[in-house]
Chains A and B, each alone.
Chain A
């Protein structure tokens, strides 16, 4: 298993600003992902955070809006840029271990973002 520390747990931001979310894992993990969960909705994958290289983004998500860093195997950041009220969501960091083909995902506590 993995213990994931995600910060901040919540924030209220002004439109036009940016918020950077940190995800720290207590062990080295192969795969790190960032999801968005809009109020009352399901989880949508934003991107896969690749260690030492550019993140892989899902359709509808772009690097300029959601820049991601992953400097090592235990840490990643997601920045939500040029905030608008539509960005108000919960953002979740997720990790899994590629020790075998089929593995479960572990989630951070989430960051609840409100844009005003």
Chain B
């Protein structure tokens, strides 16, 4: 079955430093989504990437989707303490048209930011 690998598992940074997490899928994806989960909370949608080579930005966050639609990255510039949480990528594969909405989550990267 489809697998989505995410690294690193943990990242500790000083406030103001940059942060990047990477995802790699075993299969070509229809889209990849990114979620943030605060401690004790539930995953909250950040963004969806659909097109090969797509790059999207949200303020200090930059998301990329690889040309082969199998890998993705999330980069945060100048981290803040409010960025603390676990960042998950989640891959969707709609081949055959029967899997809309089903997501395969990466293991997540736990980000801690030291003030």
Q: Could you tell me which A residues sit within 8 Å of B by CB distance?
A: 30-31, 33, 41-45, 48, 59, 92, 94, 96, 98, 101-110
Contact = CB atoms under 8 A, between A and B. Distances in A.
Contacts of A108: 42
Interface in B47-103: 48, 50, 88, 90, 92, 94, 100-103
Given A33-B102, A102-B30, A107 B43 contact: yes
A45 B107 contact: no
Contact residues on B (Cβ < 8 Å of other chain), bracket: 20 to 34
A3 to B, nearest CB: 13
B115 interface: no
Contacts of B30: 101-102
27 contacts: A30-B100, A30-B101, A33-B102, A42-B106, A43-B43, A43-B88, A43-B90, A43-B103, A45-B103, A45-B104, A48-B101, A48-B102, A94-B101, A98-B101, A101-B94, A102-B31, A102-B48, A102-B50, A103-B100, A103-B101, A104-B48, A105-B90, A105-B101, A105-B103, A107-B44, A108-B42, A109-B42
A22 B29 CA distance: 31
Nearest to B42: A107
B101 A96 contact: yes
Contacts of A44: 105
